[in-house]
Chain A
Amino acid sequence: MSFQITLTLNGTAREIALDDTRVTLLDLLRERLEMPGTKKGCDRGQCGACTVLVDGRRINSCLTLAATLDGAEVTTIEGLARGDALHPVQQAFIDNDGLQCGYCTPGQIMSAVGLIAEGTAGDDPERIREGMSGNICRCAAYHGITLAVRQAARQMDNDPKGDAA
């Protein structure tokens, strides 16, 4: 079954022709649009490595059929920085050593951007950990991740424009 969808991908409108209804957003990004920043971990919605924003909300791209997304706005890790200026969440992960091997990091960062936009984590480490529980880190960098999300949330709270996605 062939069909076409329109996406706004990291701010750019894209017309995408698909020949298979089974393609997930994750596989569309990685295998067909040459955007491998979004990672495939479990491919079953359990690890969070594939997290992206759809219409500003964090979701698991591995469980999202591309066919359902006609007209959607998708933001991936490739769409966060402004030129050489990192997004506050990206910078906070570096500042707080919020990673080791780095494989889960794009998903962690996109999830953190989504969580901060949801506005429910606040400054409380317990709420941040709960809000980030959909992202597994095999290296167990959780302490640094929690500190990074708190730093970014504080910074973006003070500078809500801040070019945040």
Chain B
Amino acid sequence: MKPFDFVQPRSARDAVAQWGPDAAYLGGGTNLVDLMKTGALQPARVIDVTRLPGLDRIEVAADGAVRIGALVRNADLARDADFAVRAPMVAEALLAGASGQLRNAATLGGNLMQHTRCPYFMEPDAACNRRAPGTGCDAIGGAWDNAAILGHAPSCIATNPSDLCVPLAALDAVVEVEGPDGARDIALEELHRLPGDAPERETTLAPGELIVALRLPAEAAAFAGHARYLKVRERTSYAFALVSAAAAMRLEGGRIAEARLALGAVAAKPWRARTAEKMLAGQPPGPDLFARAAEAALAGAAPAEGNGWKIDLARRTAARALAAAAAGTPERMPALPASPFSLSEDLSHA
């Protein structure tokens, strides 16, 4: 690991003031420290923001909107009863991610800013336009078939690995940042960029901008009764998604009044499926409708690199997540959060 200076600012303003082009903000360290070990990232200065005051709170406003400080740990957000009752699919997505140890360390802000798990990004000797602009993309023609199927470009076929961001995009979450030019809000859906011809710009944050909080609008809680996150992976637990879907709906008089659908691990950003949402609105829920909506959600999909299987898998995952959401949010978190197996009967066999 390359040597670095280490600072612990005591205010967000101070943190931003200490930032420079070779600096990195450190939250729980579960992604940054790993990438510093591989050499994929080599900051000259690490700014530990975990001591910033007041950013570890979960606040519910009188109108039901929720504001979550950027330093709230994944485990604490998922297990906050007031939060989980308002946004159960966010809690389910959090508990479907990583391991107990990592969820105890990982922060909300760090989760939003985590990098792709494309192995060619993580390996400093590989060509990667995202990590080292202009070097090319070894993932194209490489051995990684969990690449994007939506929104990719000849420059980069990476996916965003966050589970958390998928339901957040579906629920119109808003990110609060502070930066050299002051504070501003960014829609979560606009935070991550598609690669285009500048994959090295992973987010729309300006240099030095720091995420300080995230807000869920009051309307998000209206979906709490019918909301599921479904994650398909190579093993039942502790693996990144091959494909995931966050599905939620408001049912009125036997019809879907309003639906939300977002897909994960299919693009460089959480993929909101607005066309599918419009198809669902006003219709009675059912398998044929969900299949058509899923078809629409993947209408623009194209294989990036021998991964055409992800398109079928994403369709089926979206349809199944919609069916699970229509069936209703379970009273209790499933033993295997977000797993397709948790949708079946009890699987205990010890």
Question: Is B48 within 8 A of A68, CB to CB?
Answer: yes
Quick check: is B26 within 8 A (CB to CB) of the other chain? yes
- Whether a CB of chain A sits under 8 angstroms from the CB of B50 is yes
Q: 0/1 per residue, B293-337, Cβ < 8 Å to A? A: 000000000000000000000000000000000000000000111
Residues of A near B101 (CB, < 8 A) are 45, 48, 51, 58-60, 111, 114, 134
Task: Give Cα A24–Cα B350 distance, bound, in whole angstroms.
Answer: 37
Answer whether residue B85 sits at the interface, using C-beta atoms and an 8 A cutoff.
no
B293 CB to nearest chain A CB (Å) = 30
A-facing mask of B218-237, CB < 8 A → 1, else 0?
00000000000000000011
Q: Which residue of the partner chain A has the closest CB to B50?
A: A68
From A120, A125, A128, A134, B99 is in contact (CB under 8 Å) with A134
B208 CB, nearest partner CB in chain A, Å: 21
Q: CB-defined interface of B229-263 with A at 8 Å, one 1/0 digit per residue?
A: 00000001110000000000000000000000000
Over the window 34-64 of chain B, the binary record of Cβ atoms lying under 8 Å from chain A Cβ atoms (1 yes, 0 no) is: 1001100000001010100000000000000
* A162-B335 Cα distance, complex, nearest whole Å: 27
Instruction: Report if A63-B335 is in contact (Cβ < 8 Å); known contacts: A22-B1, A68-B48.
Output: no
Which of the four size classes fits the interface of chain A?
A: 35 or more
Q: Cα distance A126–B237 when bound, in Å?
A: 11
Query: By the criterion CB–CB under 8 Å, are A57 and B34 in contact?
Result: no
> Which size class do B's interface residues fall under?
35 or more
Nearest to B238 among chain A residues (CB) is A133
A65 touches B99 (CB 8 A): no
> Is the beta-carbon distance between A63 and B4 smaller than 8 angstroms?
no
Question: A134 — which chain B residues lie within 8 A by C-beta?
Answer: 98-102, 238
* Smallest CB separation, B330 vs chain A (Å): 14
Is A74 in contact with chain B by the CB < 8 A criterion?
A: no
Give the distance in Å from the alpha carbon of A22 to the alpha carbon of B34 in the complex. 12
Partner of B348, one of A1, A24, A68, A125: A125
Docked pose: A100 CA to B69 CA in angstroms: 43
CB distance from B10 to the nearest CB of A (A): 13
B99 touches A126 (CB 8 A): no
| CB-contacts of B94-144 with A (<8 A) | 98-102, 104-105
- Picked from B105, B348, B350, the residue with its CB within 8 Å of the CB of A143 is B350
| CB of A159 closer than 8 Å to a CB of B | no
Q: A118 CA to B37 CA in the complex, in Å?
A: 30
Chain B CB within 8 A of A38 CB: no
Residue of A nearest to B104 (CB): A57
Q: A48 touching B99 by the CB < 8 A rule?
A: yes
Identity of the chain A residue whose Cβ is nearest the Cβ of B235 in the assembled complex? A133
Given contacts A48-B99, A60-B102, A134-B102, contact A67 B6 (CB under 8 A): yes
CB pair A126 B102 closer than 8 Å: no
Min Cβ gap B279→A in Å is: 34
- Cα separation A72 to B348 with both chains bound (whole Å): 38
Would B29 and A20 count as touching, CB distance under 8 A? no
Any chain A CB within 8 A of the CB of B181?
A: no
- Closest A residue by C-beta to B30: A63
B38 surroundings in chain A (CB, below 8 A): 44
Contact A65:B6 (CB < 8 A) given known A45-B34, A111-B100, A147-B350: yes
**Contacts A1-B6, A124-B348, A125-B350 supplied; 9 other A-B pairs, CB < 8 Å:** A24-B33, A59-B101, A60-B102, A63-B29, A118-B75, A129-B237, A133-B237, A135-B99, A143-B350
A-B contacts, 24 of them at CB < 8 A, read A20-B3, A21-B46, A22-B3, A22-B4, A24-B33, A45-B101, A59-B101, A60-B30, A60-B105, A63-B28, A63-B29, A63-B34, A65-B26, A68-B8, A118-B75, A126-B335, A126-B347, A127-B335, A130-B236, A133-B99, A134-B98, A135-B99, A143-B350, A147-B350
